[in-house]
């Protein structure tokens, strides 16, 4: 195994990988959106690009969260030679931020404070040779990355990094144009220069049958959806040939709000808004019953009942609670001890891995906090399972410092099972695991790729995707697969299009070490 040789990188520390060297060269020569699967070393590519640019000026590296900022800073401090690496966040005092930006060789920061400071003219980007945007797919709309990019002059090289920008060509193009990126460099596990460094990841699809109590509950919920959507049809607000879906109902809501804004304060508009809101609530309940189980459904029902008692805004919830189907459903929910069959499958999978050998690690991903709490409780009863729960900061969750501490314990083996919501999908440095379990498929190709990338890094890994037969799980699984398939082809077309536009007249720079 050879090591990367560069005058600004600590010798004999960074493995030389051909695909990373090639990506560094491309990023040094042109403003580039770098797309590399989780675990294949986006930070190391950034290290190479930073090392090459330090002789020309200072470097700004931005990441969306404090844990990510600290992770990057630790790597750069450890591996860069003769470089002052400073961390800056929104909690850093403005005077201190100005000082850091004026003298540090590498500034690693969250983007919001930089965007605010630039707009307040506290400092500029003169003297900077490179700006790096981690999780660059966030660079849309008015996100802080976009605001910072507006201050990057033609002498500053720009580099974006992401594991997956998504399959929406329009959004990818928006990211590239917003962040001044005129070239796309994408690699996958199957590319010839990448495959030698990738371990096998085996994806296992596990189907479960829904128990009768859940089937009956779903049937009653759908009966209420049919009742209210029929009324929407009778009011001329919904197409009878389209089955009720959240997407369609959101479109109906936007149309009704627009009519209301134009002054159409009629009974049809007001009743339509109530019906639309009730249908969305009921479809969400169906989704929870189908993909999560009774615990998540019960939690949502409690929120619905609390809403019905509110003086304002509770009319739709009260109407739902007065339906005979709702009372029948609550009869089942209150007496049953049935949980979703996925729970027992997760427990058997975790048990198999934690008892399979010393050092085995598992991550279980789930969409909802209630399910995360349930799985944490259930898995904690498995002999040999040392379980941690990785959730976001909202509603009494984990602060970013606590998230990092949990992942450190997972890395060190004090914890061997992590049950995580979506907070564990993006960016955080999670060590290689033996298995990743999807409690449910997600319809996002970005999130699917990020979840799957949590295994198969340092050794072979397995991914298990749990599917409830005849439910929205099957729809989400197909949707994610189709989007992922389309993504690479669209990226290649967009990269060619950006190149043909000649949108990058900037000088081709000399490479110091690559």
Task: Please report the pLDDT score of residue 172 as a whole number.
Answer: 86
Examine the pLDDT at 92 and tell me if it is beyond 80: yes
Q: Once rounded to an integer, what is the mean pLDDT over residues 154-165?
A: 90
- Answer yes or no: do 136 and 150 share one domain: yes
pLDDT mean across residues, the chain: 88
Report if residue 203 sits inside a domain: no
Average pLDDT, stretch 134-146?
Answer: 94
Distance CA 114, CA 90 (A): 8
Terminal C-alpha separation, the chain: 18
Q: Is the domain of 81 the same as that of 147?
A: yes
Q: Indicate if 33 and 166 belong to the same structural domain.
A: yes
* pLDDT > 70 in the chain, percent: 89
| Long-range contacts of residues 218-223, Cβ cutoff 8 Å, at least 24 apart | 218/286, 218/289, 218/290, 220/325, 220/326, 220/328, 220/329, 220/332, 221/282, 221/285, 221/286, 221/289, 221/325, 221/329, 222/286, 223/325
* pLDDT reported for residue 507: 37
Going by pLDDT thresholds of 50, 70 and 90, the confidence category of residue 511 is very low
- Predicted pLDDT at 1: 65
Q: What is the pTM of this model?
A: 0.71
Lowest mean pLDDT among 6-15, 100-109, 138-147, 455-464: 455-464
CATH number at residue 222: 1.20.1320.20
Residues 328, 402 share a domain: no
| Domain-ending residue, one of 335, 364, 385 | 335
**Residue 231, pLDDT score:** 96
Confidence of residue 136 (pLDDT cuts 50, 70, 90): very high
pLDDT at 512 over 60: no
Residues 27 and 146 in one domain: yes
DSSP one-letter code for 510: P
Q: What was the pLDDT predicted at 456?
A: 46
Structure confidence at residue 441 (pLDDT):
87
| Separation CA 396–CA 402 (nearest Å) | 12
Residues 231 and 305 in one domain: yes
Is residue 226 situated within a structural domain? yes
Q: Tell which of 319, 335, 351 closes a domain.
A: 335
254-268 burial, b if ≥16 CB within 10 A, otherwise e?
eebeebeeeeeeeee
Residue 508 lies in a domain: no
Residues, the chain: 514
For 414, residues 6+ apart whose C-beta sits below 8 A from its C-beta are 386
Is 70 exceeded by the pLDDT of residue 457?
no
**170 in the same domain as 245:** no
Q: Same domain for 103 and 227?
A: no
Higher pLDDT, 325 or 424: 325
Residue among 269, 289, 285, 268 nearest 224 (CA):
285
Mean pLDDT of 465-488: 83
Query: What pLDDT sits at residue 347?
Result: 96
CATH code for the domain of 363: 3.40.50.300
Q: Averaged over 44-73, what is the pLDDT? A: 94
- Examine residue 502 and state whether it is found in any structural domain, yes or no: no
Question: Has residue 425 got a pLDDT over 80?
Answer: no
pLDDT of 494 reads 73
Does a structural domain hold residue 201? no
List of residues 6+ apart from 129 with CB closer than 8 A: 53, 54, 56, 57, 58, 59, 155, 156, 157
Q: Are residues 282 and 430 in the same domain?
A: no
* 507 assigned to some structural domain: no
Is 189 found in the same domain as 40? yes
Residue-wise pLDDT tens digits, 328-369: 999 999 999 999 999 999 999 999 998 877 788 899 999 899
Confidence of residue 504 (pLDDT cuts 50, 70, 90): very low
Is residue 126 in some structural domain? yes
Show which of 313, 335, 357 is a domain's final residue.
335
At residue 299, the pLDDT reads 94
Domain count for the chain, please give it.
3
Does residue 69 carry a pLDDT above 60?
Answer: yes
Range of the domain at 239: 212-335
> 1, exposed or middle or buried, with CB in 10 Å at 0-12, 13-18, 19+?
exposed
Rounded average pLDDT over 409-432: 78
Q: Is the pLDDT of residue 478 over 70?
A: yes
Asked, for residue 147, whether it belongs to a domain, the answer is: yes
Q: What is the pLDDT of residue 278?
A: 96
227 and 100 within one domain: no
Residue 95 — very low, low, confident or very high, per pLDDT cuts 50/70/90? very high
The arithmetic mean of pLDDT across residues 455-471, rounded, is: 77
* Same-domain status, 458 and 387: yes
Quote the CA–CA distance of 396 and 491 in Å, as a whole number: 39
Contact (CB, 8 A) for 59 and 107: yes
pLDDT band at 447 (very low <50, low <70, confident <90, very high): low
């Amino acid at each position: 195994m050879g090591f990367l040789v560069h005058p600004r990188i600590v010798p004999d520390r960074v493995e030389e990988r051909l695909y990373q060297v090639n990506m560094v060269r491309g990023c040094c020569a042109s403003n580039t959106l770098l797309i590399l699967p989780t675990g294949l070393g986006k930070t190391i590519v950034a290290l190479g690009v930073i090392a090459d640019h330090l002789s020309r000026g200072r470097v700004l590296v931005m990441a969306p969260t404090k844990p990510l900022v600290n992770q990057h800073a630790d790597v750069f401090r450890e591996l860069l030679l003769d470089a002052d690496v400073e961390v800056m966040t929104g909690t850093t005092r403005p005077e201190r931020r100005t000082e850091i930006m004026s003298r540090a060789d590498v500034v690693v920061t969250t983007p919001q404070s930089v965007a605010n400071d630039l707009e307040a003219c506290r400092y500029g980007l003169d003297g900077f040779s490179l700006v790096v945007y981690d999780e660059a797919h966030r660079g849309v709309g008015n996100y802080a990355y976009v605001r910072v990019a507006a201050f990057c002059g033609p002498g500053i090289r720009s580099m974006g990094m992401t594991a997956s920008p998504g399959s929406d060509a329009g959004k990818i193009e928006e990211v590239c144009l917003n962040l001044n990126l005129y070239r796309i460099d994408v690699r996958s596990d199957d590319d010839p220069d990448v495959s030698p460094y990738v371990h096998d990841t085996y994806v296992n699809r596990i189907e479960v049958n829904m128990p009768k109590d859940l089937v009956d509950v779903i049937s009653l919920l759908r009966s209420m959806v049919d009742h209210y959507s029929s009324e929407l049809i009778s009011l001329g607000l919904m197409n009878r040939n389209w089955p009720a879906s959240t997407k369609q109902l959101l479109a109906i809501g936007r149309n009704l709000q627009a009519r209301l804004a134009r002054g159409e304060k009629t009974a049809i508009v007001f009743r339509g808004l109530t019906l639309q809101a009730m249908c969305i609530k009921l479809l969400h309940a169906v989704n929870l019953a189908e993909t999560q189980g009774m615990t998540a459904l019960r939690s949502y029902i409690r929120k619905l009942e609390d809403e019905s008692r509110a003086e304002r805004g509770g009319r739709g919830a009260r109407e739902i609670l007065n339906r005979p189907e709702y009372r029948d459903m609550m009869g089942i929910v209150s007496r049953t001890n049935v949980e979703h069959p996925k729970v027992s499958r997760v427990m058997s999978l975790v048990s198999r891995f934690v008892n399979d050998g010393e050092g085995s690690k598992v991550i279980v991903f789930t969409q909802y906090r209630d399910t995360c709490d349930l799985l944490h409780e259930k898995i904690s009863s498995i002999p040999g399972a040392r379980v941690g729960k990785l959730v976001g900061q909202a509603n009494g969750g984990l602060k970013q410092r606590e998230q990092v501490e949990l992942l450190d314990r997972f890395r060190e083996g004090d914890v061997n099972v992590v049950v995580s919501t979506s907070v564990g999908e993006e960016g955080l440095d999670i060590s290689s695991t033996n298995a990743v379990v999807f409690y449910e498929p997600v319809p996002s190709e970005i999130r699917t790729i990020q979840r799957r990338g949590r295994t198969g890094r340092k050794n072979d890994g397995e991914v298990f995707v749990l599917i409830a037969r005849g439910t929205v799980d099957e729809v989400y699984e197909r949707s994610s697969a189709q989007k992922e398939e389309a993504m690479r082809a669209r990226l290649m077309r967009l990269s060619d299009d950006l190149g043909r536009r000649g949108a990058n007249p900037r000088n081709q720079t000399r490479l110091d070490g690559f």
